[in-house]
């Protein structure tokens, strides 16, 4: 009897419902999410090799690359753990996870908190000895789950005042992460919020008003930035004007990365030459934030474009999974995660090529780091979970809008395929 109850509980978790449906009937093995997973695997392989080029001597895999390989394996195990239960089951714990992440972010800011050692002026990591943990990374996943759950069957965000609650949910982690200070991670939440709101049917004119207002108000935030943050912005302005006077100062990292990217040419340097170039140019954070410069040095412009194609495939796989999902929460989860991934990639590559300030953003799956790798694979796992697990009838009503200003029109979500914004594809 106990064994039967245990088996029944497991199948309920996998199905996401207690309705008497066989587990195999709730799974859709052929789905678009596999594109995301395969792209992630490809990026991991590129990352381990690039870290070895940046850190190793060529005589065997570098110690840093070995550790990154261990992080990849841990990430894959986390993916399996995430995809086994139905994503709706994972959502049951979203608020608990979100509040736990907020508590950890607050803990990081407590003066003299045990296990917290500032690095490069930021209180962003908890040091467990064998490994470090960066709470802001996993906060991204918890945040998407909470916002997707909140917006799942609401229509208030069609009005401007309906943005208040999602804005508060966003502002709390953004504010705490900014205080660390980790402005790079904090700025990723804004495009994720906008993407989820648009996918949920928010009016684009409201988004335009907020973006224009934020752009006009941005200069007022400059006096509140830390000295090093101001220096980065000033350095970027100097770069864009062609001023090389700070090439050995605040712009050293950026100019060195650009020099190495230029050295890669179209098809890249040989492995030995690439190692020598990186070693003698002394590129800071070559295994981490500036790993894209290492990739282009080794594989050239074509190799860099290949990496960008892998990220494009990741995002396309997530969006196609969202488009084929009948559950609003599943759609919003995929869109939010895709927005985080795309924004992080764009900012990191922009840092490396000198069009954006260096603000400490890693390249997902490629840069060295356990917390980043774990979070990135959890994201892929959630996308695959949405793709794998069918939403069984009876469906709760989803949202659909007749036009940008029209009132919400509710339709039974189980009878027509839906698009990213909640509109029916077949309409």
3-class DSSP string for 361-381 = CCCCCCCCCHHHHHHHHHHHH
In a domain, 399, yes or no: no
Asked whether the predicted pLDDT for residue 359 surpasses 60, the reply is: yes
Q: How confident is the model at residue 427 (pLDDT cuts 50, 70, 90)?
A: very low
In a domain, 6, yes or no: no
Q: What is the mean pLDDT of residues 30-51?
A: 94
In a domain, 418, yes or no: no
In a domain, 341, yes or no: yes
Q: How far apart are CA 401 and CA 21, in angstroms?
A: 32
Task: Say what the pLDDT of residue 348 is.
Answer: 95
Task: Say what the pLDDT of residue 416 is.
Answer: 40
Q: What is the mean pLDDT of residues 271-277?
A: 91
Radius of gyration of the chain (CA): 22
In a domain, 407, yes or no: no
For residues 401 and 204, is the Cβ–Cβ distance under 8 A? Answer: no
Task: Say what the pLDDT of residue 155 is.
Answer: 67
Of the two residues 119 and 188, the one the predictor is more confident about is 188
Task: Say what the pLDDT of residue 173 is.
Answer: 93
Which is it for strands 132-133 and 126-127: parallel, antiparallel or unpaired? antiparallel
For residues 116 and 108, is the Cβ–Cβ distance under 8 A? Answer: yes
Q: How confident is the model at residue 81 (pLDDT cuts 50, 70, 90)?
A: very high
Look at the chain and report how many structural domains it folds into. Answer: 1
Q: How confident is the model at residue 145 (pLDDT cuts 50, 70, 90)?
A: very high
Residue owning tokens 């714990």: 93
Asked whether the predicted pLDDT for residue 390 surpasses 60, the reply is: yes
Asked whether the predicted pLDDT for residue 16 surpasses 70, the reply is: no
How remote is the C-alpha of 259 from its chain's centroid?
28
Task: Say what the pLDDT of residue 309 is.
Answer: 97
For residues 348 and 372, is the Cβ–Cβ distance under 8 A? Answer: no
Q: How is residue 259 written in tokens?
A: 């020099």
Please, what is the average pLDDT of the chain? 82
**Cα separations (Å) of 313 from 242, 310, 387?**
34, 5, 15
Q: How confident is the model at residue 135 (pLDDT cuts 50, 70, 90)?
A: very high
Q: How is residue 406 written in tokens?
A: 């029209």
Q: How is residue 290 written in tokens?
A: 């500036």
Asked whether the predicted pLDDT for residue 41 surpasses 60, the reply is: yes
Q: How is residue 231 written in tokens?
A: 């220096």
Half-sphere exposure of 422 (CA within 13 A, CB side): 32
End-to-end CA distance of the chain: 50
DSSP β-bridge partners for residue 397: 412
175-191-339 Cα angle (round to 5)? 120
Asked whether the predicted pLDDT for residue 23 surpasses 90, the reply is: no
In a domain, 43, yes or no: yes
Nearest CA to 369 out of 109, 42, 140, 44 is that of 44
Nearest CA to 389 out of 340, 348, 330 is that of 330
Q: Which domain holds residue 83?
A: 28-392
Nearest CA to 237 out of 227, 250, 226, 248 is that of 250
Handedness of CA 297, 300, 303, 308 (dihedral sign): positive
Q: What is the mean pLDDT of residues 279-286?
A: 88
Task: Say what the pLDDT of residue 208 is.
Answer: 82
Task: Say what the pLDDT of residue 426 is.
Answer: 29
pLDDT in tens, 215-264: 777 777 777 677 777 788 887 888 887 777 777 778 888 889 999 999 99
Q: How is residue 258 written in tokens?
A: 């650009």
Q: How is residue 26 written in tokens?
A: 């709730």
pLDDT in tens, 252-265: 888 899 999 999 99
Task: Say what the pLDDT of residue 423 is.
Answer: 38
Q: What are the DSSP E strand ranges found in 267-396?
A: none
DSSP β-bridge partners for residue 401: 408
In a domain, 417, yes or no: no
Asked whether the predicted pLDDT for residue 295 surpasses 90, the reply is: yes
Task: Say what the pLDDT of residue 230 is.
Answer: 79
122-127-133 Cα angle (round to 5)? 80
pLDDT in tens, 365-382: 999 988 999 999 999 999
Q: How confident is the model at residue 318 (pLDDT cuts 50, 70, 90)?
A: very high
Q: What is the mean pLDDT of residues 87-116?
A: 90
Q: How far apart are CA 18 and CA 2, in angstroms?
A: 17
Q: How far apart are CA 271 and CA 288, in angstroms?
A: 19
**Cα separations (Å) of 55 from 47, 49, 70, 286, 291?**
12, 10, 16, 8, 11
pLDDT in tens, 150-201: 888 766 666 777 788 888 999 999 999 998 888 889 889 999 998 998 888 8
Helix (H) or strand (E) holding 83: helix 63-83
DSSP β-bridge partners for residue 362: none
In a domain, 415, yes or no: no
Asked whether the predicted pLDDT for residue 411 surpasses 50, the reply is: no
Helix (H) or strand (E) holding 133: strand 132-133
């Amino acid at each position: 009897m106990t064994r039967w109850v245990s088996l029944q509980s497991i199948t309920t978790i996998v199905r996401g419902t207690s309705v008497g449906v066989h587990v195999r009937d709730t799974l859709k093995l052929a789905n678009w999410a596999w594109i995301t997973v395969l792209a992630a695997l490809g990026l991991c392989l590129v990352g381990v090799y690039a870290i070895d080029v940046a850190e190793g001597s060529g005589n065997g895999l570098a110690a840093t690359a070995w550790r990154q390989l261990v992080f990849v394996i841990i990430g894959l195990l986390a993916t399996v753990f995430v995809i086994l239960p139905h994503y709706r089951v994972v959502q049951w714990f979203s608020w608990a996870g979100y509040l736990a992440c907020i508590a950890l972010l607050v803990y990081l800011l407590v003066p003299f908190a045990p296990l917290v050692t500032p690095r490069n002026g930021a209180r962003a990591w908890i040091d467990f000895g064998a490994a470090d943990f960066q709470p802001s990374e996993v906060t991204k996943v918890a945040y998407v789950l909470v916002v997707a759950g909140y917006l799942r069957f609401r229509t208030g965000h069609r009005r401007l005042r309906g943005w208040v609650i999602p804005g508060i949910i966003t502002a709390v982690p953004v504010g705490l992460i900014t205080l660390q200070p980790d402005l790079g991670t904090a700025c990723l939440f804004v495009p994720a919020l906008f993407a989820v709101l648009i996918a949920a049917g928010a009016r684009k004119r409201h988004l335009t008003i907020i973006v224009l207002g934020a752009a006009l108000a941005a200069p007022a935030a400059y006096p509140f930035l830390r000295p090093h943050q101001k220096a980065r912005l000033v350095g970027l302005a100097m770069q864009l004007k062609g001023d090389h006077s700070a090439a050995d100062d605040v712009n050293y990292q950026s100019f060195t990365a650009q020099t190495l990217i230029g050295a890669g040419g179209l098809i890249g340097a040989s492995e030995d030459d690439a190692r020598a170039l990186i070693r003698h140019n002394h590129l800071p954070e070559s295994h981490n934030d500036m790993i894209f410069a290492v990739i282009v040095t080794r594989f050239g412009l074509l190799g860099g474009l290949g990496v960008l194609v892998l990220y494009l495939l990741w995002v396309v796989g997530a969006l196609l999974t969202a488009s084929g999902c009948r559950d609003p929460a599943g759609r919003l989860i995929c869109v939010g995660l895709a927005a985080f991934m795309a924004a992080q990639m764009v900012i990191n590559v922009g840092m490396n090529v000198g069009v954006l300030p260096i603000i400490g953003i890693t390249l997902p799956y490629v840069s060295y780091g356990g917390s980043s790798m774990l979070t990135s694979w959890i994201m892929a796992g959630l996308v695959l979970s949405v793709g794998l697990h069918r939403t069984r009838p009876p469906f709760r009503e989803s949202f659909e809008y007749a036009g940008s200003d029209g009132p919400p029109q509710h339709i039974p979500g189980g009878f027509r395929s839906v698009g990213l914004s909640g509109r029916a594809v077949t309409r």
